[in-house]
Amino acid sequence: MFKKILIANRGEIAVRIIRACKEWGIATVAVHSDVDADSMHVRLADESVCIGSHQPQNSYLNISSLMSAVDVTGADAIHPGYGFLSENAQFADITTKHGIKFIGPSADLIKKMGDKIEARKIAKENGLPIIEGSTENVNSPDEAKKISNKIGYPVLIKASGGGGGKGMKVVNKPEEIEKLFSMAKLEAKKYFNNDDVYIEKYFKNPRHIEVQVLSGKNKTIHLNERDCSVQRNHQKLIEETPSPIIDEKIRSNLLEQTVKMVKNIGYEGAGTVEYIYQDGKFYFLEMNTRIQVEHPVTEVATGIDIIKEQIWIANKGETALTQDDVKPRGHVIECRINAEDPSKNFQPSPGIINVCHQPSGFRTRIDGAIFQGCKITPYYDSLICKLICQGRNRTEAIQRMLRALDEFVIEGITTTINLHKKILKHEKFISSDFDVNWLAKEAFY
């Protein structure tokens, strides 16, 4: 097993990885920017190294600083977490060439699956249904119009290297193509340094379903699906498992097809294959070659520690689990708690947490890095923690989550706790009568 792992991340995911390492008996190195010196992940790690200033490009996105930290501390592996450099093929390649194990798939697979156009081709070659649209980079507004007229409006112009709603534009009629095509390319270049875009048919009322996989040289298994359809501007707010809208026949087919593709491409590690689901049909969306923010939903349902399995596969090249080891139990819901003000268009709410009382109780889990007196800075993602509750069924899971949210007290900053209460009490959420565009239509904030 590895002797020392450097966590190339911060916040709650860094804390989560440190905990898994400690249970494996592996020493940990936390890296931090100048404003994160007193953070929870720094306090919990065995060692810590300051890698730069608060600007991400000078610290958490600075490959040279991270590799220097590896050299100084003698770490023999790097866990990238999610975000930052977690899906950066160059980082994975440099790490490997330095004789350091990158805990994730190969640089080649990260590059292939990170390119949305290439990923669509791979999915199609492996029998997964893809959304109707272009299979190559679209180079001009005229080309975009031809494709859009063929598949019918509305359409989506999407960044090939994108995610999180960046470089994504909905086009409802031909007259909008030229302007929105240019805007999408500019955004794609700004956020991903790659202005390639492609066209997809736009689904008006889809659900967002994803499948968690673990894969080694010996086998690939799934850990069932998650429903991540409660979203705002393509950002997930609430996730649950199992999905309350798909039946066993559809679920079985989806899981079987996903495992087949992941195995065929030679994937190693933890990964997630995401789908759009509408009118009883699934369509491949993308594959995330990293741990997901929402992985605790699956961990609680299955009793499997996905981070520890990631580390095991990275070290051994194989997974020790079999599909028979995956026995989901009950229903699980996760709420992402952000330091944001919903009444002010989700404006970030940095500051010092003066009071922090976190809920506990039966089948209630918190993944976070907050504590009384900690400082929430404006420089990074506003996610501060995740609250996960399990019930014997969906009704009990909702009730338990509402109880836990009532116990959650954070003062000094504004959070999304009250918004989550409103959503979970809404009749459409209770009856699971919603889609990814639901929150934009309701007056929650």
pLDDT tens, 378-404? 999 999 999 999 999 999 999 999 999
Task: Record the tokens describing residue 181, joined without a space.
Answer: 């095509």
pLDDT digits over 103-150, tens only? 999 999 999 999 989 999 999 999 999 999 988 899 999 999 999 999
Positive or negative torsion for Cα 132, 135, 137, 139: negative
Q: Is 51 helix (H, G, I), strand (E, B) or coil?
A: strand
Q: What is the DSSP string of 309-346?
A: HHHHHHHHSS----GGG----SEEEEEEEESEEGGGTT
Please state the domain extents for the chain.
4-103, 132-201, 207-441
Rg of the Cα atoms in the chain: 21
Contact (CB, 8 A) for 369 and 11: yes
DSSP 417: H
| Cβ neighbourhood burial of 172 (10 Å; 0-12, 13-18, 19+) | exposed
Contact (CB, 8 A) for 8 and 79: yes
DSSP 36: G
pLDDT of residue 194: 86
To which residue do tokens 């966590």 refer? 7
Contact (CB, 8 A) for 206 and 246: no
Nearest to 308 by CA among 23, 45, 11: 23
Residues with a known catalytic role: 290
Do you know the residue count of the chain? Answer: 445
C-alpha to C-alpha distances, 368 to 138, 146, 305, 336, nearest whole angstrom: 41, 48, 16, 10
Question: At the fourth CATH level, which superfamily is domain 207-441?
Answer: ATP-grasp fold, B domain (3.30.470.20)
Class of domain 4-103 as given by CATH: alpha beta
Q: Is 69 helix (H, G, I), strand (E, B) or coil?
A: helix
To which residue do tokens 């709650």 refer? 12
Distance CA 275, CA 254 (A): 10
Angle between the N-to-C axes of helices 417-425 and 394-407, in degrees from 0 to 180, rounded to the nearest 10: 150
pLDDT of residue 164: 67
Nearest to 65 by CA among 43, 34, 87, 108: 34
pLDDT of residue 334: 98
The CATH topology of domain 132-201 is Dna Ligase; domain 1 (3.30.1490)
Task: Record the tokens describing residue 106, joined without a space.
Answer: 């190969």
Q: What are the residues whose beta carbons fall under 8 Å from the beta carbon of 187, sequence distance 6 or more?
A: 159, 166, 167, 168
pLDDT tens for each residue of the chain, 445 residues long = 999 999 999 999 999 999 999 999 999 999 999 999 999 999 999 999 999 999 999 999 999 999 999 999 999 999 999 999 999 999 999 999 999 999 999 999 999 999 989 999 999 999 999 999 988 899 999 999 999 999 999 999 998 877 767 788 999 999 999 999 999 999 988 888 788 999 999 998 999 999 999 999 999 999 999 999 999 988 999 999 999 999 999 999 999 999 999 999 999 999 999 999 999 999 999 999 999 999 999 999 999 999 999 999 999 999 999 999 999 999 999 999 999 999 999 999 999 999 999 999 999 999 999 999 999 999 999 999 999 999 999 999 999 999 999 999 999 999 999 999 999 999 999 999 999 999 988 877 6
- pTM for the full model? 0.94
Distance CA 264, CA 223 (A): 18
pLDDT of residue 445: 66
| Cβ neighbourhood burial of 151 (10 Å; 0-12, 13-18, 19+) | middle
